[in-house]
Amino acid sequence: MGIDLVPFKVCPMNCVYCEVGETTNLTCKTDEYVPFDEIICELDDYITHNPKLDYITFSGSGEPMLHSRLGEIVSYIKKSYPNYKLALITNSVLLTNPKLLHDIIDVDLIMPSLDAVSHDIFKAINRPSIEVNPDEIIKALIELRENFRGQIWLEIFLIEGVNDSDKELNLLLEATRKIKPDRVQLNSLDRPGVEAWVKAMNPQRLQEIRDYFAIELGETSTIEVIAKVQRKVEYKNFNPDVVEQVLGLISRRPCTNLDLSKTLGLHVNEVNKVLHSLVSENRIEATHEDRGAFYRIKG
Ligand code: SF4
């Protein structure tokens, strides 16, 4: 189960591959973006039914560590529902603030990202807010490993022709050796990103990189490819009415995911899932304009 701690799309980065959409609030400022009481109330309501969950995961439409009361939320869940495990998906930026480490120390699994070591490549992919740089992120990840007893699964998003050169891969490898994550997860584009030029990496190339990392890192970390190389189109998880409503709206005029989310009163993540399946099935296509990706009927 995912908990969205910030509204769409508050983040210290504006990654070219972001599947959620263009960052609208590029910031490193922590705040109570979603009221603490609202989060706890919704959580209590959901957990009353004792759902079977692998993890309760802080993730969503932006960077969860930007929530100023994350530490209190973690403590509340650990105290009230000790049988559930907690995971945090983060772009690693806020880990550079040592004060925030205390907030997440009781989480069971942290999944931080590191896509590049070279400053120019880091900027080209992650397009961070001005105060962020990869050296500080790597240092923070090393410190995290030294102080955090839970699992760390480091995600590296690979883009062909950008961060897959031998030089950059070796820099990433060197950083990974120092960070010592339990796992390294290699990812590539699965859904349309913010920029149309970002394409999914060739699966064979991804596998070669995985094998190279596995040989170089030996037994220190498990290396895996998490990119979905063959995307299955499944509608059975979607309400068929929603698919029809989305198709109906974009057959009248091109819409962004946010347009559809507002008009249909659905969470943007739900709309994204439907859009991405329709794109994979070749029924609709996206064109990228100033306001983001616009979807229209193909043909
Ligand atoms: S850090 Fe995550 S949420 Fe933020 S822009 Fe990058 S991919 Fe999107």
Domains and CATH numbers, the chain: 2-225 (3.20.20.70), 240-297 (1.10.10.10)
> Mean of the pLDDT values across residues 272-297?
83
CB distance 248 to 260 below 8 Å: no
CA atoms of 200 and 177, how far apart (whole Å)? 26
Cα(15) to ligand 1 centroid in Å equals 5
Q: Is 61 in the pocket of ligand 1 (CB under 6 A)?
A: no
Q: Above pLDDT 70, what percent of the chain?
A: 95
Residue 241 banded pLDDT, cuts 50, 70, 90: confident
Q: Is 91 in the pocket of ligand 1 (CB under 6 A)?
A: yes
Nearest ligand 1 atom, CA 20:
8
CB distance 229 to 203 below 8 Å: yes
| Ligand 1 pocket test target in 28, 91, 185 with most atoms within 8 Å of CB | 91
Has residue 138 got a pLDDT over 70? yes
Has residue 287 got a pLDDT over 90? no
Q: Is 18 in the pocket of ligand 1 (CB under 6 A)?
A: yes
Residue having the nearest C-alpha atom to atom 8 of ligand 1: 18
> Mean of the pLDDT values across residues 59-63?
88
CA distances 237 to 57, 229, 234, 258, 285, Å, are 20, 20, 7, 21, 21
CA atoms of 132 and 66, how far apart (whole Å)? 14
CA atoms of 217 and 208, how far apart (whole Å)? 14
Per-residue confidence (pLDDT) for residue 238, from 0 to 100: 58
Question: What are 243-283's pLDDT values in tens digits?
Answer: 988 998 888 778 888 888 888 878 887 888 888 888 888 89
Count the Cβ atoms, other than its own, within 10 Å of residue 219. 6
Cα(52) to ligand 1 centroid in Å equals 28
User: What DSSP letter does each residue of 25-64 carry, written as one string?
Assistant: EE----B-SS-HHHHHHHHHHHHTT----S-EEEESSS-G
> Mean of the pLDDT values across residues 115-144?
95
Residue having the nearest C-alpha atom to atom 3 of ligand 1: 62
CA atoms of 261 and 207, how far apart (whole Å)? 36
Q: Is 11 in the pocket of ligand 1 (CB under 6 A)?
A: yes
CB distance 108 to 150 below 8 Å: yes
CB distance 27 to 63 below 8 Å: no
| Ligand 1 pocket test target in 4, 13, 158 with most atoms within 8 Å of CB | 13
Nearest ligand 1 atom, CA 23:
5
Q: Which residue has the tokens 């043909």?
A: 299
Q: Is the pTM of this model over 0.85?
A: no
Per-residue confidence (pLDDT) for residue 290, from 0 to 100: 65
Lookup: tokens for 283: 């029924």
Q: Check the CA dihedral 64-72-155-170 and report its sign.
A: positive
Nearest ligand 1 atom, CA 61:
3
Per-residue confidence (pLDDT) for residue 235, from 0 to 100: 42
Nearest ligand 1 atom, CA 113:
1
Per-residue confidence (pLDDT) for residue 233, from 0 to 100: 41
CA atoms of 108 and 30, how far apart (whole Å)? 22
Has residue 230 got a pLDDT over 50? no
Choice between 295 and 191, residue whose per-residue pLDDT is larger: 295
Helix (H) or strand (E) holding 143: helix 134-147
Residue 135 banded pLDDT, cuts 50, 70, 90: very high
Choice between 229 and 203, residue whose per-residue pLDDT is larger: 203
Per-residue confidence (pLDDT) for residue 229, from 0 to 100: 57
Per-residue confidence (pLDDT) for residue 80, from 0 to 100: 95
Has residue 167 got a pLDDT over 60? yes
CB distance 181 to 172 below 8 Å: no
Has residue 231 got a pLDDT over 50? no
Report the range out of 21-25, 190-194, 261-265 with the highest average pLDDT.
21-25
Question: What are 62-121's pLDDT values in tens digits?
Answer: 999 999 999 999 999 999 999 999 999 999 999 999 999 999 999 999 999 999 999 999
